[in-house]
């Protein structure tokens, strides 16, 4: 998983104070995937401050491998999470000059030795590091050995202009295989185009699997063989922090359970029938619902999902440096 760690300042439901909880979309995906049974490595720049220590502790506590974490001299990124009346969460960010966006090409691994590489969110959009991340993704896609997943997870207040966000999204899409995007993200990127039309366009232009999450409604999964609609799993929502990231992680785990990750398995992803797509989507929705029922980005463990077995063959998402 390549991207940021952000400290989420989340309201404490038991008091008027805030709790500092390590988050960040790609880091949330890494933690959730590890809890669901995948061997996972995080590629990230981590600050040498008190929050950075919390970040490392969280990743280590979830058994996320840390060999590709970069010690950074800049401070940690912060986000204040404000749940709305419907449980949806809005954020205010403090990200100027922070560690997560200062990538240099030399800090990224020379090659990825895993079946899958996930990227997305602010690290894919925020300069100066976004250009470095994009070069890395293009290189790995050209190598043909890994399945590359992408979640735009748009944050308009810190990601730049809408035109810039669209440009970066459309630069990255040709170098990805699996895309998970929220209906809200699509509404910001393409406000005058129905979400289903955008998703169909992304699929026809070469993606193997496109998933659009619809908040409390559920999700739709599309590939070349058809599509499936799945309902959201019922839950008493505490907040939605990390729910989409848990969905993404569970999606990857479900694909791995079917031995579908890796450059030689892409035709099989594109050929999943609607029933198989629905099974994958329902598993991801169940996992996301557990996260919605808890404070902050606290994804479920494999044992919490009604005995479901998302993967029996852990994937080591490991890359090597020179």
Domain assignment present for 2: no
What is the distance between the alpha carbons of residues 181 and 199, in angstroms, rounded to a whole number? 9
pLDDT surpasses 80 at 321: no
Two tokens, residue 277: 């797509």
Two tokens, residue 284: 């991801």
Domain assignment present for 5: no
Q: Which residues contact 121 (CB under 8 A, 6 or more apart)?
A: 3, 4, 24, 25, 26, 151, 152, 153, 155
Give the tens place of pLDDT for each residue, 269-316.
999 999 999 999 999 999 999 999 998 889 999 999 865 444 433 333
CA 197 from centroid of its chain's CA atoms: 22
User: How would DSSP label each residue in 208-246?
Assistant: SEEEEE-GGGEEEEEETTEEEEEEPPP---S--TTHHHH
Q: State residue 160 phi and psi, 5-degree precision.
A: 105, -170
Listed range (83-92, 179-188, 236-245, 246-255) with the worst mean pLDDT: 83-92
In contact, 101 and 158? CB cutoff 8 Å = no
Domain assignment present for 308: yes
Domain assignment present for 144: yes
What mean pLDDT is reported for the chain?
A: 91
Where in the sequence is the domain holding 193, given as residue range(s)? 28-38+105-320
Question: What pLDDT, on the 0 to 100 scale, is given for residue 146?
Answer: 97
Where does residue 279 rank: exposed (0-12), middle (13-18), buried (19+ CB within 10 A)? middle
Q: Residues 187, 166, 124, CA angle at the centre, nearest 5°?
A: 105
pLDDT mean over 220-231 = 97
Domain assignment present for 279: yes
Domain assignment present for 90: no
What is the distance between the alpha carbons of residues 96 and 76, in angstroms, rounded to a whole number? 10
**H/E element, 100:** none
pLDDT surpasses 60 at 317: no
Domain assignment present for 218: yes
Domain assignment present for 66: no
Give the tens place of pLDDT for each residue, 233-259.
999 998 888 999 999 999 999 999 999
What is the distance between the alpha carbons of residues 263 and 273, in angstroms, rounded to a whole number? 20
What CATH number has the domain bearing residue 288?
Answer: 3.40.1190.20
In contact, 45 and 76? CB cutoff 8 Å = no
- Tally of domains within the chain: 1
């Amino acid at each position: 998983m390549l991207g940021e760690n952000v400290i989420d300042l989340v309201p404490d439901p038991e008091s008027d104070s805030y709790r500092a909880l390590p988050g960040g979309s790609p880091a949330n995906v890494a933690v959730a995937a590890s809890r669901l049974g995948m061997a996972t490595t995080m590629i990230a720049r981590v600050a040498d401050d008190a929050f950075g220590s919390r970040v490392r502790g969280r990743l280590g506590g979830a058994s996320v491998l840390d060999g590709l974490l970069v010690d950074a001299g800049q401070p940690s990124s912060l986000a204040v999470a404000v749940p709305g009346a419907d449980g949806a969460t809005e954020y205010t960010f403090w990200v100027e000059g922070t560690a997560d966006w200062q990538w240099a090409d030399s800090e990224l691994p020379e090659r990825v030795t895993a079946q899958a590489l996930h990227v997305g969110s602010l690290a894919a959009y925020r300069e100066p590091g976004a250009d470095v991340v994009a070069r890395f993704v293009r290189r790995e896609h050209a190598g043909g050995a890994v399945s590359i997943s992408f979640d735009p997870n748009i944050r308009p207040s810190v990601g730049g202009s809408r035109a810039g966000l669209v440009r970066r999204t459309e630069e990255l899409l040709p170098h990805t295989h699996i895309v998970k995007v929220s209906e809200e993200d699509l509404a910001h990127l393409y406000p005058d185009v129905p979400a289903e039309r955008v998703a169909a366009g992304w699929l026809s232009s070469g993606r193997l699997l496109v998933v659009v999450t619809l908040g409390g409604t559920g999700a739709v999964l599309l590939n070349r063989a058809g599509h499936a609609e799945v309902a959201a799993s019922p839950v008493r929502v505490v907040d939605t922090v990390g729910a989409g990231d848990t969905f993404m992680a569970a999606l990857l785990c479900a694909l791995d359970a079917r031995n579908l990750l890796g450059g030689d398995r892409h035709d099989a992803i594109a050929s999943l029938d609607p029933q198989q797509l629905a099974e994958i989507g329902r598993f991801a929705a169940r996992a996301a619902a557990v996260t919605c029922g808890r404070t902050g980005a606290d994804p479920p463990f494999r044992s919490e999902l009604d005995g479901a077995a998302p993967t029996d063959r852990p994937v080591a998402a490991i890359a090597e440096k020179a």
